Every structure is written in structure tokens, then in C-alpha cells.
Structure 1
Amino acid sequence: MNHHALRANACLATLALAAAGAAHAADFKAGEWDLSLGGIVNAYYTHTRCSGSRAVGGTALATQALGCGGTEGRTVVGNGLLPNALTTTAKTRQEGYDISATLMIGAAVAAGDAISNNSNVDVRQGFVTFGNADMGTVKLGRDYGLFGKSAILGDMTLLGAGAPVSATQRNRVTLGHIGSGYTYLGTYGQVAYSLPTSSGFSATVALMSPVDAGSLIGRNQPQLQALATASFGGGKVWLGAKHQKFEGTGGFSMSGVELGGSVAVRTLGFAANVQSGKGLGVLTDGDSGNRKQTNLLLQATWQATPKAKLGLNWGESRLKDGVATDLRSNTNVTAGLYYGLTKSLTLVGEISRTTSKPVAGESARMNGVALGGIVFF
């Protein structure tokens, strides 16, 4: 199962499939360039059932409006947390510099009709890197952010669905623990610099193209993100941060820190991640305004057999302040079975419970099930 997790990481992390080595379906040479082509295809039958309050405000994942797509229950056959994706990477070494270019093009499975997704394209990565072992690496282009990267890569539901929120799965993907454990890492135009890796320590700082949050705009200053990771035998720890100023009436500064770690002890795996700050947003930067927020994710897995992994994780995104109907928290617990039928194909079964609590009043609840599979090539 670790083999599949590495391939999922490769499609979500920088350098895409280049980090997965043997995961490539095709590696070939064109002149002085080494080219790689690979990708992901996945689909899940999901069913959700929503109950409780319909009046929880904000981005309440468990309400009928979001969790069940406007009804008491919803069935979808669509993507899990990962999209379908085709990734191409080209690498070369010229005049002492390692140069790489990556392009990822994705597509969603499900839609509200039988036509619209035929022309939907999801482009998350398009960047170039250059550097060497002495100077480190510079990245230019569009790629995933740093804040939240370690959390989502370590989330077992990366291979599955997690919270199968119908409103996002139709036309895109499910949420895993996005909004109920961590804020989405996002994709940004960026200029990033990574130090040379030394004794298991790596660090990256990046200037991100500033994003808007509703009527508030980020225009004068870039978003800043940073991530440091220290790996050791059987595990790793990480520390991240991000900051951006939103301008306009009611403008504010988004700022957050993140701390997490994971460890493997024989057949058992454990992971924890906490994010804390102001204006982090439930799903994306600043979407909940200038409210203090804490995101927490806890996870335990057991490699029951060489092919079968069992896992249980719990996550919560909790906001402070707000009026009575405003969202106080989204909480999700997911139990999953991940079975490696072959080295390329993983079959997945998950059950989950998502709860959205308001500042005052009754909560909304969503029960979900996801059955399907994911192939890496």
C-alpha cells in the first residue's frame, strides 16, 4: 500500500510523477530531455444522507445544501479526493543545472447533467524548476501550495473520498478532510525556493500570487508560504506558515501556522496535524472572513495484510466568534479499507459521518459511504 501512497503523493506534490520513479507508464528520451508520462484514473459510487438543521450558515459541509446537493439524500458516481489526471514531466541537465518542466491536466467524472463535463478541464500544475545540489531549487509557475501539503498527503482518504460532499463531487472532487481537518492547500502562481536537502531536512519558501476572498482583494503584496520538514527513521515532522493581506471594506490579514508529524511502527501508522490562525478559511483562503480558526486531524492505520490497510481518522475545523446561525465547526470521522488488488490498482471502501455545528442551535449531519477504486499508471 505504501507504493500506491507514493504515487498519489507524486500527483499531488511538486515534480508530480517524477517523484514516483517506477510509477511512470512511459519514460523515454528525446534528444537531451528525459520525458515521463503518467496519471490517475478513479471513480467512486457515493451515497449521502443528510439530517438535522438546514439553517447552519457559512460553509457547513453536512447540510442538505452542500452535503446532499439540495436534497435529503444524494447518489453520485464521481471522483474521490483526487481528480482524473494526466501528468507530463520533462527533465534535463544543462551546464550544471537540473531543469524540469511539469504539466498536469485533469478532468472530473460526475456532473449534474450528461454533457457539461465533456468540456471541463482542471489544470492544477504548470511549472518549471531549475537548480542543483549546491544552490537548491527554484520553481516558477502554477503548483500546489505549501501550507496544508503535508496534511493532505498523509491523509488516508487521499486514495478514497473522505467526506463525499455532493456539491463538490458533482463537477469536481470530494473533500477528504478539507474543511473538516485542514484548509485546502490550493494552487497558485508562484516563485518558490527550496534549500538543498541535508540529513533529512528540507525547507521551501514561496511568493504566491495573491488571491481574492469574496469582495476583498489581494493586490499589493504576494501571499507568503513556507514549509520545513525533518525526516527520521520511520517518520517525519513538519512546520508550515502562510500570510496574506486582503484589502477592501472590512479587510484583514490572513495568517496561520501548521505543525504535524507522522510515524510508522511496524504495521501501525499514526499521524497528527494542527493548523491555527486568523482568516484561514474553511475550504479556501479567507472564505470565512476575519475569524480565528483551528484545524485538527488525527489518524491511525493498520497494515492488516500485505495488500489490505485499515484506517480511522478524525478531523475538525473550528471557528471562533460569529452570530448564532454562523458555522462553528465541521467535523468528519472516516473509517476505510484500502486493498491493493495489484501494484497499480487499489480498491476502496469508506464510511463517514460529517457534522456541522452552528454557534447556537441544532447541528446538521451527513452520513456517507464510498465504494470504488483508483489506478495509477
Structure 2
Amino acid sequence: MTFVARLLGAVALGSIALATPAAAQDTTDALLLKLKEKGILSDEEYQALMARKSTPVVAATQASAVPATNSAEAPQQAAAERLDEKKLVRMTDAGVGLLIGDVALKFSGSVNGFYVHDNGAAPTATNTVAGGLATVGDNSSAIRNGLLPGFLKVDVSTTQGGWDVGAHFGMYPGINSSLGNSGANGAGAPQALQTSGIDFRQTYLTFGRAGFGEVKIGRDIGLFGSDAILNDITLLAVGTAAGNAAPSNTSLGRIGLGYIYTDFQPQITYSSPKFGGLQFAAGVFQPLTTIGQSEVNGSPGFQAKLTYDLVPTDGGIGAHAWISGLIQRHDATDLLPAYTGRAIDLGAKLSYRNFGLTGYYYTGSGVGTIGLFLLSTDALGRKRDSDGFYVQGTAGFGKFTLGTSYGESRLDRADGEAISALVRSNASWVGQARYGLTSWVTLIGEYTHTRSKAHNGNRAESDAVAAGAILFF
């Protein structure tokens, strides 16, 4: 019951003691009815207050000493007790949100911004790499988002009929300027009179219960490759700053420089309960087309992941390990044959006190590089193999955290494919320093050296420095 309703109810009931019985009855009835008609009191609140009011004040005073024996008085007192005990709006136990009856409404989000200077080499015949991520071109400065855009996530959850159910929405606005038709993740447009875009990448429902697990239906992060990006230190910062002269919603971080981007995809996914530290998840996914090709695929994609968590005790060793995979058939077109893309990855993150060590590796055939099914085949539809890895270490000293990582993604030529300027590898070194200003705000400085190599021997290198902050709530 709301504070206003409680206050008005108390005033109304108090008038019973100060007025004659007949006057109190008429005045209080009229007041409560008027409050109900105006929407200040709900039907439940109105009925409960009427039940409380109908119990004589003397009887209510004596109730604490003498148990109610009249069968007509018991329901009235029970209704009043329920009204006192039920807090219709109250704070959640954790996070930013509130409970409305049995429904939890929670908000979480992040905002970040960085000054980034990207130093690339002038274009030449020997530094052209098709699919290379090192900057080739003029030096550039930008105020931009890092690998994460900003985001605001809204979660609405409750329990109904023994099932825990929820609706989840995630909006990811950036601080970049973009042309109206380019979309949230299109090329930036650092011009006057432009606006930023909103990437609404999460919309999904969940239902589950203890012993059963959880089902997710909607759009959310994929299973394959998700732990690679979620454990990457550049997720908090910038990493490789491709397109820095006209930044889009995000930088690359280590995408294409150690792992393939997992992406946010339409899916129906089941996650098992945890068995000790083990958990299994699997799902069917919207089939993705080969980038640059027109396909109509008759079967969905499939992804699965197995994780294990060891929670540290008494400052001991903690661990998070995973293995995931995907498979998807691409149907033939009028110009290209059908093919099936497959990939598997595995990784582990170990922690001891304020130190962490992460290792990751993936390998695939017909999945491409940077993004799923980008450069996955040659012009004749023949599959290319790819693989990659990264290693990473962090050390905490009070509010300071130092981190470094190296990663590389490699793309092979298809069988019979001619040597060209096609990318052979993209790699980067990252050095990062973080300072926890508050529990919400972290200050970050970062240096990234990026290198791209082509199959014909071409090579490009670039350096970027970034400084800024990220906030989570």
C-alpha cells in the first residue's frame, strides 16, 4: 500500500474517534469513496480500509489483549493485516530498481567515452591488405566510444505458477555522430547537425525454474565466441580503433585480432541448471548469410556451449573455463555451391587474489574472420579455414589494475585459390592501466599496436592511444 493511501486511511480512521458514530460513518465513507473514484486508492485498498473502518475503535484497541472470537470480525481483521503487510512498491535487494507487488523491475547500464589518437601509415602498394585491420591513411583524433557503446538494459521478472519468467530489453546508444540512413553501426559522420544512433540489440523473454533450467527466446548474444569477448580487457576500453577518423558506434577491441565476433542473434536457447560448477547451453539460431552473397537457407544454425566455474575460497584459485561450437549449412545460389561452416573454441580464465590469466583459441572451416561468415569462401564458393588465439594477464594493486594481451586471427586461402592481397593475419599488442575512481567509474589509459599481413607479403602497422572513462551501474 502506498504511503499516501496509508496516510489518508489513518486520517479517515482517526475521524471515527473524533466524531459521533453516525457522522464518522457518513464522512469516512464519502472520503474513501471519493479517493477510490479518483484512482488514489485501488479497489483492494478501498475494500481493506472499509473492512478496517467497520471494526469499532474500541474493539481494535482491545484486539491486542483479547483474541477475536466473533466469526464476522476475523475476516475484517485479516484484511487489515494483509493491507499493512503488503508493500506494493519497495526497493529491490540489489541493483537499481524496485519491486511492484511480485514483479521486479531492474535497470542497469553503462556510459563511456575516450579520446583516441590513431597513427597509421600513408597508403602504398606494399601496405594494402584486403581485410586488414591496421589503419592505413592519415593520422586521426576522435572523441568516441570504445568496444562497448553505452547501454541501458531493462529487466522485468516475476514468478508465476512456479515458473520464473522475464522480459529483457537492451538499448545500446553511442556518442558518435552518424548520418540518418547509416544506422547505429554504420559509418560515422563527424559533421554538424548529425545525431547518434541506437542499436537495440537485446529483446528476449525467459522462463525457467529450479531443476529445469531456463529457456530464452529472442535476440541476445550468441553462444559461440561469447566468452572470448566477455573476458577480453579491451571490452572496457578501445583496442584497435579502426575507422577512427569517422568513428561508428564501437571500436574493434580484439574482434578479428584473436577471436571472431559472437554477435547478437535471434535464437531459441536452453540453459541447463548448474551441476556443481558445470552448465550446458544449446540453441537454434537464425541462419546467417555469407556476407556479400544472397542466400536463402533452409535450415537454422546451431550453437552450444559448456562452462565450468570454480569459485575461489579464502583467497584461493578461481577458474572459469568454456568450450563452444557452431555449425550452419549455407544453401547453394545460382552462382555458388552449398557449403557448411563449422567452428569450435575453448578458453579458460584463472584468478588468484588480484591476479588473472586468460588463454583462448578457436578454429573453424567456412566461418571466415572478424565477423561470422565474412571472407568465409573465395569467389568460387570454396571454403577457407581460419583460426586464432589470445593470451592476457592482469594484476591489481589497490585501485589500480594493469593488463596486457596479445592476440592474432589467421585466414587461410581456399584450396586452389590464387595468392593475392587477401588478409593472412591480423594481430595486436595491448597495454592497459585502470584506476577505480568510484564503485561506478573507472578511469582507463591504453596503448594498442596493430599489425596486418597479406598472403602476397603486404604488411601494414598502426598505433593508437586512448584515454577516458567507463561507468557501470
**CA pair 188-218 structure 1, distance change in 2 beyond 3 A:** farther
Which stretch of structure 1 is more off in the superposition, 259-268 or 94-103? 259-268
Match of 2:210 in 1: 133
**Structure 2 Cα separation of the partners of residues 362 and 301 of structure 1:** 33
Which residues in structure 2 correspond to 1:1-377 (within 5 Å)? 22=94, 24=95, 26-51=96-121, 54=124, 56-64=128-136, 71-111=137-177, 112-114=189-191, 118=195, 120-166=197-243, 170-213=247-290, 214-217=292-295, 219-232=297-310, 233=312, 234-247=318-331, 248=333, 249-289=336-376, 290-303=383-396, 305-321=397-413, 323-377=419-473
String of CA shifts for 1:180-226, please: whole Å, max 9, x gaps: 00000101110000111110111100111111122142521111111
Q: Which amino acid aligns with 1:34?
A: A
**Structure 2 Cα separation of the partners of residues 169 and 241 of structure 1:** 34
String of CA shifts for 1:16-39, please: whole Å, max 9, x gaps: xxxxx84x3x21122321000121
Does the 8 Å CA contact 2:368/2:411 hold for their aligned counterparts? Answer: no
Q: Secondary structure at the match of 1:118?
A: coil
Q: Aligned pair count?
A: 348
**Structure 2 Cα separation of the partners of residues 88 and 40 of structure 1:** 12
Q: Which amino acid aligns with 1:60?
A: G
CA positional deviation for 1:261: 0.4
**Structure 1 Cα separation of the partners of residues 260 and 193 of structure 2:** 28
Unaligned 5+ segments in structure 2 are 1-92, 178-188, 313-317, 377-382
CA positional deviation for 1:101: 1.1
Q: CA RMSD in A?
A: 1.8
String of CA shifts for 1:303-348, please: whole Å, max 9, x gaps: 1x22110000011000112523110000011000011110000000
String of CA shifts for 1:237-267, please: whole Å, max 9, x gaps: 1110011122221442110000110101233
CA positional deviation for 1:52: 6.8
**Structure 2 Cα separation of the partners of residues 126 and 117 of structure 1:** 27
Which stretch of structure 1 is more off in the superposition, 152-161 or 216-225? 216-225
Does the 8 Å CA contact 1:341/1:347 hold for their aligned counterparts? Answer: yes
Q: Secondary structure at the match of 2:223?
A: coil
Does the 8 Å CA contact 2:176/2:196 hold for their aligned counterparts? Answer: no
**CA pair 261-52 structure 1, distance change in 2 beyond 3 A:** farther
Q: Secondary structure at the match of 2:228?
A: helix
Match of 1:5 in 2: none
Does the 8 Å CA contact 1:346/1:374 hold for their aligned counterparts? Answer: yes
**CA pair 136-116 structure 1, distance change in 2 beyond 3 A:** farther
Which stretch of structure 1 is more off in the superposition, 164-173 or 268-277? 164-173
Which stretch of structure 1 is more off in the superposition, 279-288 or 153-162? 279-288
**Structure 2 Cα separation of the partners of residues 286 and 115 of structure 1:** 36
**CA pair 168-146 structure 1, distance change in 2 beyond 3 A:** farther
Does the 8 Å CA contact 2:119/2:135 hold for their aligned counterparts? Answer: no
**Structure 2 Cα separation of the partners of residues 117 and 87 of structure 1:** 25
Does the 8 Å CA contact 2:421/2:458 hold for their aligned counterparts? Answer: no
Match of 2:12 in 1: none
Report 1 or 2 for greater relative contact order, CA contacts < 8 Å, sequence distance ≥ 6.
Answer: 1
Higher helix share goes to which structure? 2
Which stretch of structure 1 is more off in the superposition, 167-176 or 328-337? 167-176
Unaligned 5+ segments in structure 1 are 1-20, 65-70
TM-score using structure 2 length: 0.71
CA positional deviation for 1:169: 7.1
**Structure 2 Cα separation of the partners of residues 53 and 325 of structure 1:** 14
**CA pair 169-242 structure 1, distance change in 2 beyond 3 A:** farther
Does the 8 Å CA contact 1:281/1:288 hold for their aligned counterparts? Answer: yes
Q: Which amino acid aligns with 2:108?
A: G
Does the 8 Å CA contact 1:203/1:227 hold for their aligned counterparts? Answer: yes
Does the 8 Å CA contact 1:80/1:169 hold for their aligned counterparts? Answer: no
String of CA shifts for 1:93-145, please: whole Å, max 9, x gaps: 01110001110111111232346762511011010000111111000000000
Does the 8 Å CA contact 1:56/1:326 hold for their aligned counterparts? Answer: no
Match of 1:11 in 2: none
Match of 1:7 in 2: none
Q: Which amino acid aligns with 1:219?
A: N
Q: Secondary structure at the match of 1:51?
A: coil
Does the 8 Å CA contact 1:292/1:320 hold for their aligned counterparts? Answer: yes
**CA pair 173-157 structure 1, distance change in 2 beyond 3 A:** same
Higher strand share goes to which structure? 1
Greater gyration radius = 2
